[in-house]
């Protein structure tokens, strides 16, 4: 979609750069010819003002706290649909009919097993290895098993790889958890829904039957929906950049997992719960809020702030409601960490610093309390985020490959190092 043009004067030259308008949201200036016509780059290290692509998948209005997937508000998808319906929507662009949904569910369900040799990878890790390290290794290794779906130029192979990723991530994540706690792997069961199957693979033991609590399974499924996709966040941009070189989808998803691990991104749910545990009680909150405001203290309130949301993260509201549902279902009345979280939120939302910097709770603020109540250790929190985000990564990866404008991603730089100089022999240094 094109618009007017923007006149840019730089280096004594004035050029007209075309602008483009999307369906909704800010216009963009197409700077693709800027360097050729002016010899000047743009500079935007955190990409705060830079769009990397056109996309139809997800839209965020950070000021209004709006999140749309293919135009549908996250609140409606989380309320009325299930995770595999959201996966279908993200992948194909439309909500499925009953027949399409049944067929999609069947295809995903019947790809949940992994090659038996995969189980050999785990024994190479120490038991106390962080499950995200295991996920990076095992997901990247999937490309060693599925040579029949790594030709990225073949739409059929891309869709097979996409389904395989969505189907197998819960199995691999559950295997990482079981290995971590020293329990035997549990195979998926085809008569269970996606979330119940995952909970059973995590929490069933050979000694007794396990049936997932339907309220908890619904909460798990909703948590997957909330984490499914989020525009061009750091890990999705990593997947797109890796994919732009023609790397196979399994390797690209492994790169996304590695990026998500960071505490500023997907690792924030683990860091937020560790922070709540460290604060420990309501009376210690002011000390930590003061540290978060102290420029000389690197401490930040984990689970607060967002590059795009300058309002309440809509996912955080749904997550907070889910937290209360899960705690009520489990009969957990006065969870000390929930008490600290709610008081910390109340204080932060009334504190001038947080108001001025528009720092609101994000999805990671409440997810940790919920996941801990569901029985997961903090080290598994980002694994669950990666499990859910796989559909977003793979949908964005497909869109990138199908985009005629996409080329290998290769940013330029502002060089501030030494000018050219000659080698000095060591005897003269
Ligand atoms: C996710 O991009 C996505 O969409 C990500 C995600 C997704 O679904 O993919 O939404 C998932 O990653 C959510 C974010 C999880 N991360 C955290 O909760 C970690 C804590 N948050 C911060 O590290 C930070 O808010 C970021 C990384 C989320 C955003 O960083 P930005 O956009 O680069 O903002 P910034 O670091 O420039 O902060 C702006 C100001 C700074 O103060 P000044 O330098 O202007 O004086 O706000 C301050 C920061 O110091 N600030 C905080 C803060 N976050 C920002 N101060 C205290 N506590 C915080 N949490």
Q: What is the CATH number of the domain that holds 325?
A: 1.10.580.10
Residue minimizing CA distance to atom 25 of ligand 1: 305
429 in any annotated domain: no
137 shares a domain with 259: yes
Look up the CATH number of the domain holding residue 15: 2.20.28.60
Shared domain for 42 and 151, answered yes or no, is no
Question: Tokens 């029949």 appear where?
Answer: 148
Identify whether 417 is part of a domain.
Answer: no
Q: Are residues 277 and 381 in the same domain?
A: yes
On whether both 192 and 236 belong to a single domain, the answer is yes
360 C-alpha to ligand 1 centroid (Å)? 10
Q: Is 288 near ligand 1, meaning CB less than 6 Å away?
A: no
CA gyration radius, the chain: 23
What tokens does 296 get? 């000389």
Assess contact for 294 and 178: CB atoms under 8 A: no
Whether 259 contacts 265, CB under 8 Å = yes
Strand partners, 15: 8
The closest of 56, 58, 52, 51 to 26, measured between CA atoms, is 51
Burial of 156 (0-12, 13-18, 19+ CB in 10 A): exposed
In a domain, 307, yes or no: yes
253 within some domain: yes
Q: Distance (Å, rounded) from C-alpha 22 to C-alpha 339?
A: 43
> Domain for residue 166, yes or no?
yes
Domain assignment of residue 165, yes or no: yes
150 lines ligand 1 (CB under 6 A): no
Is-catalytic flag, 306?
yes
The pTM assigned to this predicted structure is 0.95
Q: Do 258 and 159 fall into the same domain?
A: yes
Query: Would 362 be classed as within a structural domain?
Result: yes
Residue from 61, 288, 305 to probe ligand 1 pocket by mutation (most atoms less than 8 Å from CB): 305
Q: Are residues 32 and 160 in the same domain?
A: no
- Residue 32 shares a structural domain with residue 90: no
Per-position pLDDT tens, the chain of length 429? 455 888 889 878 889 999 999 999 999 999 999 999 999 999 999 999 999 999 999 999 999 999 999 999 999 999 999 999 999 999 999 999 999 999 999 999 999 999 999 999 999 999 999 999 999 999 999 989 887 778 888 999 999 999 999 999 999 999 999 999 999 999 999 999 999 999 999 999 999 999 999 999 999 999 999 999 999 999 999 999 999 999 999 999 999 999 999 999 999 999 999 999 999 999 999 999 999 999 999 999 999 999 999 988 999 999 999 999 999 999 998 888 889 999 999 988 899 999 999 998 889 999 999 999 999 999 999 999 999 999 999 999 999 999 999 899 999 999 999 999 999 999 999
Domain around 15: 5-51
CA distance 299 to 275: 10
Which helix (H) or strand (E) segment holds residue 18: the answer is strand 13-20
- Out of 30, 306, 335, 403, the active site residue is 306
364 is catalytic: yes
Nearest CA to ligand 1 atom 52: 300
Residues 35 and 76 in one domain: no
Residue 62 lies in a domain: no
Ligand 1 touching residue 307 (CB < 6 A):
yes
Could you tell me the distance, in angstroms and rounded to a whole number, from the CA of residue 308 to the centre of ligand 1? Answer: 9
CA-based nearest residue to 313, from 384, 226, 219, 383: 226
Looking up tokens 């508000």 gives 73
| Number of domains within the chain | 2
CA-based torsion, 129, 130, 133, 139: positive or negative: positive
- Does the Cβ of 384 fall within 6 Å of ligand 1? no
């Amino acid at each position: 979609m094109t618009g007017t043009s923007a006149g840019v004067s730089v280096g004594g030259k004035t050029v007209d750069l075309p602008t483009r308008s999307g369906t909704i949201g800010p216009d963009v200036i197409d700077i693709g010819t800027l360097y050729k016509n002016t010899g000047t780059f743009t500079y935007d290290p955190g990409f705060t003002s830079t769009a990397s692509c056109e996309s139809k998948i997800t839209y965020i209005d950070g000021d209004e706290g709006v999140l749309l997937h293919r135009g549908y508000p996250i609140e409606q998808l989380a309320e009325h649909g299930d995770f595999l319906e959201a996966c279908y929507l993200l992948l194909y662009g439309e909500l499925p009919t009953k027949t399409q949904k049944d067929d999609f569910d069947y295809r995903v369900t019947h790809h949940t097993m992994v090659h038996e040799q995969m189980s050999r990878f785990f024994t190479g890790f120490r038991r106390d290895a962080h499950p995200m390290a295991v996920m990076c290794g095992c997901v990247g290794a999937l490309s060693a098993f599925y040579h029949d779906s790594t030709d990225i130029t073949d739409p059929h192979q891309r869709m097979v790889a996409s389904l395989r990723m969505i189907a197998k991530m819960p199995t691999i994540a559950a295997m990482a958890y079981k290995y971590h706690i020293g329990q035997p792997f549990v195979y998926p069961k085809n008569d269970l829904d996606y979330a119940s199957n995952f909970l059973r693979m995590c929490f069933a033991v050979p000694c007794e039957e396990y049936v997932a609590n339907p309220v908890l399974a619904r909460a798990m499924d909703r948590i997957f929906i909330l984490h499914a996709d989020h525009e061009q966040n750091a890990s999705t941009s990593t997947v797109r950049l890796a994919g732009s070189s023609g790397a196979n989808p399994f390797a690209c998803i492994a790169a996304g997992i590695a990026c998500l691990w960071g505490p500023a991104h997907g690792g924030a749910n683990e860091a937020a719960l560790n922070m709540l545990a460290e604060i420990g009680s309501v009376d210690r909150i002011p000390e930590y809020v003061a540290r978060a405001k102290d420029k000389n203290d690197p401490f930040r309130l984990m689970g607060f702030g967002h590059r795009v949301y300058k309002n309440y993260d809509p996912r955080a509201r749904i997550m907070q409601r889910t937290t209360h549902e899960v705690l009520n279902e489990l009969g957990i009345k006065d969870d000390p960490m929930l008490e600290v979280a709610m008081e910390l939120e109340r204080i932060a939302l009334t504190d001038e610093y947080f108001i001025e910097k528009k720092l609101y709770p994000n999805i990671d603020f409440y997810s940790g309390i919920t996941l801990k109540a569901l029985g997961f250790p903090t080290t598994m929190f980002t694994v669950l985020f990666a499990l859910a985000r796989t559909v977003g990564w793979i949908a964005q990866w497909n869109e990138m490959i199908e985009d005629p404008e996409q080329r290998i991603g290769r940013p330029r730089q502002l060089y501030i190092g030494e000018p050219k100089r000659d080698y000095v022999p060591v005897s003269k240094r």
